Amino acid sequence: MSDAAQLEPHWGYADRALPCTNDKGSCEYLDLVYSAHDLSMLYAGVLWATIGGILVLWALHRRLGLPSHTPIAPYSTQDSTSARLGRTARVTIQRYLLPESILAVFGRTTRLQVVTLLSLIGYLTIWSFVGLAYRTWVTPVKDLPGNYNTRTTLGPWSDRIGVLAYALTPLSVMLASRESLLSLLTGVPYQSFNFLHRWLGYIIFAQGSLHTIGWCVTEIRLYQPQPVVAHQLLAETYLVWGIVAMAVLTLLVFLSTPLGIRLTGYEVFRKLHYALAMVFVGACWGHWEKLECFMVPSLILWLADRCMRLIRTGILHYQILPSGFAGFRSCSAQITFFSNAEHGD
């Protein structure tokens, strides 16, 4: 930094010192690191733009389309081709996507949710690998003759996986919310999002694990001299928070399994899940605060859901609304007297 003529800002990453005064291989590697990160942020934006677009289209279709309670008109030869195609598509979807699928793996869920999950996995897989130059550089270590670093695309790829995991965190919180914005937009009950929330948690865990393994290999094996580099790494605050985040995430995943729930009980699982989720968000924030653009929405969504639950409980139990419409009340009934001259009233 002291030799830099200027600092080039990069959203979500450390500023880059320019011009690069290292050897050619190191400079080319840094070019890859920063360009790959910029693309990672772009891809995260595209991911959320895609999710937002799907939700907007779904909400518009729900508001502008036919109400769900409208009976389907009987088949008529006078119907337009588009109407017949629409009915055919609905029937086909109900026949092939509503039945349950692979119970041993996914549990009792529909094929539609499984297809949605697989589509998300495929989408994330594409963004995990595109835009990276897969190369290797062997560069000398500054001020340490005879020592060489092996720089590969493993580091930038690990960063890509980490950015995507951060970007998915707000979505995971949204899928778990009871007072769900997703339900408001789509009309789908919040319980139906539990499957995607659970599997998205597994995806984030896999991404976090790959991110951790990738950087451990890079820092502990490929960078020299060892074990000096490894010891220096362990003293870094961001690494400590990364370890905390992965430990909490591992605990979250274990407690959400059937075995974890049986060992602790459902109420313990539920309360710990709320608390550990926010510890995880805080640890991620401490690990890489420059990506707080993903952690702040996660925290806001979590707090909003908790506040809405408390407000809803208060309205139900204390009948805060003047009409009492939203609170608990006794069932009302009206007695009607039917006179009968032959058999008696």
φ, ψ of residue 233 in degrees (nearest 5): -65, -40
Query: Token digits for 180?
Result: 């769900």
Residue 60 is classified by DSSP as H
Q: How many domains does the chain have?
A: 1
Per-residue pLDDT, 319: 66
Query: Token digits for 118?
Result: 């697989």
Per-residue pLDDT, 341: 76
175 close to 197: Cβ distance less than 8 angstroms: yes
Token pair 């313990």 is found at 268
Per-residue pLDDT, 85: 80
pLDDT digits (tens, 9 = 90+) for 213-231: 999 999 999 999 999 999 9
Residue 240 belongs to what domain range? 6-65+94-317
Per-residue pLDDT, 74: 57
Residue 246 placed within a domain: yes
Residue 324 placed within a domain: no
Q: Within a 10 A sphere around the Cβ of 77, how many other Cβ atoms? A: 5
Per-residue pLDDT, 49: 96
144 close to 136: Cβ distance less than 8 angstroms: no
Per-residue pLDDT, 327: 60
Of the chain, the percentage scoring pLDDT greater than 70 comes to: 90
Residue 322 placed within a domain: no
Region 183-206 average pLDDT? 92
Distance CA 25, CA 15 (A): 20
Distance CA 55, CA 188 (A): 12
Residue 323 placed within a domain: no
pLDDT digits (tens, 9 = 90+) for 56-110: 998 998 888 655 454 555 555 556 777 778 778 778 777 767 777 777 777 778 8
280 close to 244: Cβ distance less than 8 angstroms: no
Residue 13 placed within a domain: yes
The model's confidence at residue 344, banded by pLDDT at 50, 70 and 90, is low
Residue 318 has pLDDT above 80, yes or no: no
Of the chain, the percentage scoring pLDDT greater than 90 comes to: 60
Token pair 């549990």 is found at 107
174 close to 197: Cβ distance less than 8 angstroms: no
Residue 55 has pLDDT above 70, yes or no: yes
Residue 84 placed within a domain: no
Higher-pLDDT residue of 6 and 82 is 6
φ, ψ of residue 126 in degrees (nearest 5): -60, -50
Distance CA 177, CA 193 (A): 9
Residue 344 placed within a domain: no
Per-residue pLDDT, 65: 66
Residue 160 placed within a domain: yes
Region 250-257 average pLDDT? 94
Return all residues near 195 (Cβ < 8 A) that are at least 6 apart: 106, 107, 109, 113, 117
pLDDT digits (tens, 9 = 90+) for 112-152: 888 899 999 999 999 999 999 999 999 999 888 889 999 99
Sign of the dihedral through C-alpha 316, 321, 326, 332:
positive
